[in-house]
Amino acid sequence: MIYPKIPLAQTVVELFKAKGIKHIVISPGSRNAPLTIGFTNNPFFTCYSIVDERSAGFFALGIAQQLKKPTAVICTSGSAVVNYYPAITEAYYSNIPLVVVSADRPKHLIGVGDGQTINQKNIFENHILYSVNLKLDVKDENNIPENEELPMLKNLEGKLERFLGLQKDIQTHNEEEINEALNFALLKNGPVHINIPFDEPLYETVEKLRVNPKATKPVIKPKVIEEYVLNECLEDWNSTSKKMILVGVNQPNIVEQKWLDELAQDDSVIVFTETTSNLYQDSFFPSIDQIISPLTEEEKKALQPDILLTFGGLIVSKKIKTFLRKFQPKYHWHIDEKMANDTFFCLSNHIDVSPNQFFSTFLPKITHYVKSNYNAYWTEVKNNRLKKHDAYIKSIPFTDLKVFDMLFKNIPHGTILQIGNSSAIRYSQLFNINKYNTVFCNRGTSGIDGSTSTAIGCAVVNDKPTTLITGDLSFLYDSNGLWNNYIPKNFRIIVINNQGGGIFRILPGHKDTKNFETYFETTHHLNARHLCRMYGFAYKSVSKEKPLEYYLKEFFVEEERPKLLEIFTPKDLNDEVLLQYFEYLK
């Protein structure tokens, strides 16, 4: 087998293999050549070449999101490194194990005007779980770096002894730091950064390893709910008649169905689930804004819970956040192994176990259900809202709201849905999602910058078909995501093109001014046709209801290349229809 000659590069590759980090996303460059040689010549690894580092970061994030295992991105030095930052922040706030590996210049070439060089040490320190700067190998006994603590030895024997000692210390340090970083990614589920200096020559290879690094296993400490915490929760739960459970972003099957079914039987509990929760039970409340938006102050007071129990990632619905910040519960418990955000400014308890562990410990200890009409009352409200929702959808012209209704009625069972941020995810919140599909969205930072790349990373490691639903600005912003040789033929993109940032017409603002169209809505007349031709996608566009209804029947049929459907909607009508929707629900 071919190996890079540099011991540090060999060490990195061998430890990644020992930790089972299989998927390696490489952006071409020269300074990272030793790593590229090492990973691409080892059959254990599945390597991808993605030129644009920002896209590469989100592509790797999509892989890690699906596999729930660390995925690596590797780049050269300089500005290449900082292009990873958007994906790193998303991984940080979405608890996704992304391993960022950046090649760097040796220390003596930093800050002296050398090309393609920036200060890479701890560059992501505010959004990283662990950051390490490895040490440069001692190249050979005739090129030993100066060290004030160890005076230069005069004779060859002493020089060689010093060389071997220095290199041993460097090797030990590097192995320990790489192990620590990878164990953080494995245990803490988040991004880590390994910065690696390489000196020239960079492309030399050998046929035998010069290192034998030892992989240290992460120490897993089982978590339990302390007895006094459990008893306090049970006491409060059994003495209150209004309990609200609010579920944010989750992987599928995060909680066993039997516990969801048990919660559904409790008349004092209502469960609000977001589109990204991947949690389904017929009696739950999946369209939060349908319930919240039309409420009077008196009705909001009636909805105010005594106990709010939350789990999962960040919440999309602004309406529920506004409601719970004003009508705060007496107790707010958040269930999460890692952290608890005080989103509603009333957090009283962080229970740091998994949601399933909590419910499997907590629910069997509930000996009786509190008598309450909390669930029954709001279930009746929900059913009335659904009837009004259906009636309104039938009455409206071809707009964004109508399009999303048609899409969710036609997406096949077993599809993985990746949904873009801004308008796309907010419209999705208004519809019941097929329980046989799973939904993902980059809600850690809620940016529009990497939705396409993330979706393609997801599609590459899945047998199930993946469909991305996105707005036009998000799609255009991440169009380099299509510069990818690994896109499976069953991958689909649906672009809702309302010629700009349509969400800004819904938000408060001066939308009838020229400045609004230029600087907020960013009106444009672009389309995806030429991008599809360049990147080998089958392309179809529609702008009316009947053609869309017809084309959706064949859009998901597998062909020999991926497909993109662009749906044009009237930008001056979309906001009116959506705002009237909430008025109609009242």
Q: What is the mean pLDDT of residues 292-301?
A: 95
Structure tokens given for 501:
């940032």
Tally of CB atoms within 10 A around 293: 18
Beta bridge partners of 102: 75, 195
CA distances to 1, 164, 351, 364, 477 from 229, in Å? 56, 55, 8, 16, 47
Higher pLDDT residue, 219 or 48?
48
pLDDT tens string 177-235? 999 999 999 999 999 999 999 999 999 999 999 999 999 998 888 889 999 999 999 99
| Whole-number pLDDT of residue 153 | 43
Beta strands in 21-179 (DSSP E): 23-26, 46-49, 71-75, 98-104, 130-133
Tally of CB atoms within 10 A around 273: 23
| Whole-number pLDDT of residue 107 | 87
- Whether 156 has a pLDDT exceeding 70, the answer reads no
> Cα separation of 239 and 361, whole Å?
19
Calculate the average pLDDT of the chain: 92
> Cα separation of 125 and 438, whole Å?
33
Quick one: pLDDT band at residue 130, thresholds 50, 70, 90?
Answer: very high
- Whether 395 has a pLDDT exceeding 80, the answer reads yes
Inter-residue contact 421 to 446 (CB < 8 Å): yes
Inter-residue contact 563 to 493 (CB < 8 Å): yes
The answer to whether the 227-379 and 396-585 domains have the same CATH topology is: yes
Which residue shows structure tokens 């590797």? Answer: 74
> Cα separation of 429 and 115, whole Å?
48
User: Which stretch of 38-42, 290-294, 508-512 has the lowest confidence by average pLDDT?
Assistant: 508-512
Structure tokens given for 368:
């009786």
Structure tokens given for 289:
């804004």
Inter-residue contact 60 to 457 (CB < 8 Å): yes
Higher pLDDT residue, 422 or 541?
541
- Whether 273 has a pLDDT exceeding 60, the answer reads yes
- Whether 514 has a pLDDT exceeding 90, the answer reads no
Beta bridge partners of 271: 245
Q: What is the mean pLDDT of residues 499-504?
A: 65
Beta strands in 489-543 (DSSP E): 492-497, 538-542
DSSP per-residue string spanning 59-98: HHHHHHHHH-S-EEEEE-STHHHHTTHHHHHHHHHHT--E
> Cα separation of 560 and 537, whole Å?
10
Contacts of 47 (CB under 8 A, 6+ apart): 24, 25, 26, 39, 40
Beta bridge partners of 25: 48, 73
- Whether 149 has a pLDDT exceeding 90, the answer reads no
Sequence ranges of the domains in the chain: 3-201, 227-379, 396-585
Secondary structure letter of residue 433 according to DSSP: P
Any idea which architecture 227-379 has in CATH? 3-Layer(aba) Sandwich (3.40)
First to last CA, the chain: 70
Structure tokens given for 84:
């990873």
The CATH number of domain 396-585, selected from 1.10.10.1400, 3.40.50.970, 3.50.50.60, 1.10.1740.10: 3.40.50.970
> Cα separation of 84 and 27, whole Å?
11
Q: What is the mean pLDDT of residues 569-584?
A: 92
| 3-state SS class at 298 | helix
Quick one: pLDDT band at residue 367, thresholds 50, 70, 90?
Answer: confident
Closest CA to 85 of 119, 115, 125, 133: 125
| Whole-number pLDDT of residue 147 | 47
User: Which stretch of 131-145, 193-207, 310-324, 420-434 has the lowest confidence by average pLDDT?
Assistant: 131-145
pLDDT tens string 412-459? 999 999 999 989 999 999 999 999 999 999 999 999 999 999 999 999
What is the maximum span of the chain, computed from C-alpha positions, in angstroms? 92
Three-state SS sequence of 224-246:
CCCHHHHHHHHHHHHCCCCEEEE
Q: What is the mean pLDDT of residues 295-310?
A: 97
Q: What is the mean pLDDT of residues 80-90?
A: 97
User: Which stretch of 104-108, 162-166, 186-190 has the lowest confidence by average pLDDT?
Assistant: 162-166
Inter-residue contact 178 to 132 (CB < 8 Å): yes
Q: What is the mean pLDDT of residues 100-129?
A: 89
CA atoms within 13 A on the CB side of 78: 13
| Whole-number pLDDT of residue 518 | 64
Quick one: pLDDT band at residue 121, thresholds 50, 70, 90?
Answer: very high
Task: Please state at what angle helix 33-40 crosses helix 7-18, rounded to 10 degrees.
Answer: 40
> Cα separation of 183 and 192, whole Å?
10
Say if strands 192-197 and 98-104 run parallel, antiparallel, or are unpaired.
parallel
Quick one: pLDDT band at residue 150, thresholds 50, 70, 90?
Answer: very low
CATH class of 3-201: alpha beta
Tally of CB atoms within 10 A around 241: 15
| Whole-number pLDDT of residue 509 | 59
- Whether 402 has a pLDDT exceeding 70, the answer reads yes
Backbone angles phi, psi at 254, to 5 degrees: -75, -25
Structure tokens given for 389:
């929702």
| Whole-number pLDDT of residue 118 | 85
Structure tokens given for 38:
């090492």
Which residue shows structure tokens 């302390």? Answer: 226
Q: What percent of the chain has pLDDT over 90?
A: 84
